[in-house]
A and B are shown apart, each in its own frame.
Chain A
Amino acid sequence: MESFMLLMDGFTVALQPMNLLWVTIGGVLGTIIGMLPGLGPATGVAVLLPLTFTMGPVAALITMAGVYYGAMFGGSRASILLNTPGDGAAVAATFDGYPMARQGRAEAALAISAIASFIGGTVATIVMVFVSVPVARFAIKFGAAEYFQLYVFALAATASLTKGNRIKGFISMIIGLMIATIGIDPQSGIKRFTFGLLELQSGIDFLVVIIAVFALGEVFKSFQNITEGKLNIQKKFGKIWISREEWKRCVWPIIRSTPIGFFVGALPGAGGTMASLIAYNNERQLSKHPEEFGNGAIEGLAAPEAANNASSVGAMIPMLTLGIPGSGTTAVMMGALMILGLKPGPLLFQQQPEIVWGLIASMFIGNIILAVVNIPMAGGLVRILAVPPKILYPIILGLSFVGAYAISFSVMDFYFLLAFGVLGYIMEKAKIPSSPLILAVIVGNSMEQSFRRAFVISDGTLGIFFKSPICIIFFALTVISIGYPLLKSALVKLKERSR
């Protein structure tokens, strides 16, 4: 009840006209930034930094948070329409969102993405009001071994994502894991596969690989289709909304994915990418018709969309309750708050409740505003599909280069972008799926590092990986997510044979 009273106080802060303006600006800006390849929420918040110095702490926090979840709304737009995810958290939206758009169902895809984002964000904020402190206390139970099991579980999703040839999926994953080993190894300080290049010492940013394989890969692929005159463009557009039937299919996936996203987001260092992938995989396994996943199943889009918005809410928890940045974006936010003289930490809730509750209240308002803004905006965006490819694809290409440069302002990234773009094209030609590669690049380094950390902490014994209940649960989930599809297909074969 006390939380509720404080929340009401928070609303009086958040509803002040200036704060309403800031949350709208932040949210819309975030949506736009999220749509551009390579520009994710962390870049968006960093761009805003100089502006926030002129604001009060509440307005600064509200605006930056708006950019964060705004980017989660926007991130999937390009995934759905152009198969070019704006950042890691939007990768899962390409799996079913893009096939939907190809089938002429872009309107429904955009609508469900906004609706799922809204529900995910709002429900997660309600949960945050009541359980933020216990969740933060539970999240610190995750040690290196627990993280390792979590990453393995997330990577096991790649196994299930591979349609058809499992060996090819495996090859793709191995290439991804290899890319992830590039750079200085933090545990030993030794340089691995850097070839004397300074730019390779911090490794290859997974965003470069994502933009290359998806955006450039898409351009290369379409280039061929343009010259062959195969590519058709959509001329007629319907209303941005979904049918009752589609809504029914999405309700439960959204409800199930929200807590997953919220909790994974609250784990320092996990984040939106992992949250959306786990949610996607989860739905695919629970589905009665898993064969539709990857071919335009609407719930395959709703689940990750709800999860990544919920995760952006969850990521605020370690920052607000413990003063630990839960993600790259909250790290930048914390830096900004410190310059403004605010100290995020366990005492923030007690010492400056108006700031924390003002932020939480603004997240309710922001989610509503974004849902209202996004549906009409999608009505305009969907017309991208009417743009002739000869004009559209050069623009995507240009944006890809801008996005890659914005990651670390390094010209070297252009070369990596091109190289991986060509790699993506070759893989496409060889029918090697690209998703396992992407996922391996994203989790590979963290997975390896947490394994090594746990190994040092346990003095080189493997027992640590099965010591805690959390470890065992994730291990069991991994076994199920790999074993269940195998078992199912084996059973089907058995039945056919007995006939």
Chain B
Amino acid sequence: MKKIAKMMLMLLVFAVCVGASGMLFASGQDEQSAVVDYPKGNLDFVAPAGAGGGWDLTIRTVAKALKDTGLVKVPMPVRNNPGAGGAVHLASLQELKGEARTITVYSPPLILTKLAGTTQLGYENVTPLARLIADYACFVVSAKSPYNTMADVMNALKKNIKSVKIGGISSAGSMDHIQFLIMAKAAGVKNLNQIDYVSFDDSAVAMVLGGHIDLFSTGLSEVATLIESGDLKALGQTASHRVGTGVIAQIPTCQEQGINATFENWRGLFGPPEMPTYAVDYWRETLKKLVATPEWAKAKETNGWDDAYMDAPDFLKFLVKVNQDYSEILREIGMLK
């Protein structure tokens, strides 16, 4: 009996320690009181996903460019706060209301996760600072595939909705899935909810290379090297214009192929909700300067990103519009919550 009591006591001590450490982390964020002197001390750059992903790459590149150009002189350590497609970080941002140090990157999943019911929080719960870049969706098939144009795929789908298996990295109802459905809808394919979409993790590229799925819905920069080497055939991309150089510039847009739709994987920077005006102004100003630098131009080129700069007010209007677009598609496939 005594042993059990001791055991319980030990567990209790752990629990208290855990609780205390939790409080410590929460109160560790010091309040910003200096209005004029911003930024001061370390900034807090956050990728709402693990290291190595698109968000991580974007925010680290931004931090590097800001440092290389000397636009921001204080340290900008990047940390990762992954979970639930970025929703975990979105929730922790709510506890940093009115705080000025934290800068985060988001992209379409910011809107999609809320629409699909993953979280109650969305773009209204963060402060948009600027839209920076866009990557575009790209639909690729293996080099041996019978499909050569987007029309081939859409016609096959119209004939038999189960005949083309679409693969992607993100889960059903998220970006890779939605970007294809937007195109299918514009091409006049009916019964969008019956199109087979298979979610893979990082291995999706290997699946299309091996011919296990018919079409891989992804981002242009993810497969650029495999298109260049001829291992994959790109059927179409979703920008309103041709992008990139070399082989990439030869990929026709979906619009050119008579599908009247575009999809952009925009990426922008956000602050916590109710970020102070002085901080918002500082970032609007700084990011405007950043996008004009040669360092930033170089970074965009190496990563295959298209310029999509938009200042905060326009960015907000844009978010309202895409929110509308995405919810229509999700309603159609019955995933809108």
State A141–B226 Cα separation when bound (angstroms): 17
Residues 80-126 (chain B) with a chain A CB within 8 angstroms: 80-85, 87-88, 91, 116, 118-119
Residues of A within 8 A of B162 (CB): 459
Say whether A448 faces chain B, with CB atoms less than 8 Å apart. no
Residues 336-350 (chain A) with a chain B CB within 8 angstroms: 336, 338-339, 341, 343-348
| CB atoms of B15 and A418 under 8 A apart | yes
> Quick one: CB contact mask for B154-173 with A, threshold 8 Å, 1 for yes?
00000000100100001111
Closest to A268 in B: B203
Stretch from A8-16, A69-77, A101-109, A318-326 at the B interface = A318-326
Instruction: State how many residues of chain B have any CB contact under 8 Å with chain A.
Output: 66
Range of interface residues on A (Cβ < 8 Å):
35 or more
Residues of A within 8 A of B119 (CB): 198
Question: Residue A187 contacts which of B64, B199, B212 (CB distance < 8 angstroms)?
Answer: B199
Given contacts A201-B83, A408-B82, A456-B196, contact A339 B206 (CB under 8 A): no
Closest to B214 in A: A457
Q: Give the most central of B11, B64, B206, B224: most A CB within 10 Å.
A: B206
Residues 188-214 (chain B) with a chain A CB within 8 angstroms: 196, 198-203, 205-207, 209-210, 212-213
State A143–B209 Cα separation when bound (angstroms): 10
State A411–B24 Cα separation when bound (angstroms): 11
Residues of B within 8 A of A498 (CB): none
Residues of A within 8 A of B198 (CB): 144, 187, 453, 456-457
Residues of B within 8 A of A399 (CB): none
| CB atoms of A324 and B206 under 8 A apart | yes
Closest to A270 in B: B203
Closest to B57 in A: A335
| CB atoms of A322 and B60 under 8 A apart | no
Say whether A161 faces chain B, with CB atoms less than 8 Å apart. no
Residues of A within 8 A of B82 (CB): 202, 408-409
Residues of B within 8 A of A414 (CB): 18, 21-22
Question: Residue A334 contacts which of B52, B79, B118, B172 (CB distance < 8 angstroms)?
Answer: B52
Say whether A188 faces chain B, with CB atoms less than 8 Å apart. yes
Stretch from B2-10, B131-139, B275-283 at the A interface = B2-10
Say whether A269 faces chain B, with CB atoms less than 8 Å apart. yes
Say whether A247 faces chain B, with CB atoms less than 8 Å apart. no
Say whether B303 faces chain A, with CB atoms less than 8 Å apart. yes
Residues 83-131 (chain A) with a chain B CB within 8 angstroms: none
Residues of A within 8 A of B318 (CB): none
| CB atoms of B206 and A268 under 8 A apart | yes
| CB atoms of A339 and B202 under 8 A apart | no
Question: Residue A322 contacts which of B56, B165, B171, B209 (CB distance < 8 angstroms)?
Answer: B209
State A186–B170 Cα separation when bound (angstroms): 7
| CB atoms of B61 and A339 under 8 A apart | yes
State A140–B52 Cα separation when bound (angstroms): 22
12 contacts between A and B (CB under 8 A): A46-B52, A50-B77, A187-B198, A189-B335, A220-B7, A333-B52, A335-B56, A339-B64, A347-B228, A401-B17, A408-B88, A411-B18
Please give 10 more A-B residue pairs, beta carbons under 8 A apart, in addition to A140-B209, A142-B210. A49-B78, A268-B202, A328-B50, A331-B53, A339-B64, A347-B228, A347-B229, A401-B17, A414-B22, A418-B18
Chain B residues near A (Cβ < 8 Å) = 3, 6-7, 10-11, 14-15, 17-18, 21-22, 25, 50-53, 56-57, 60-61, 64, 77-85, 87-88, 91, 116, 118-119, 162, 165, 170-174, 196, 198-203, 205-207, 209-210, 212-213, 224-226, 228-229, 231, 302-303, 335
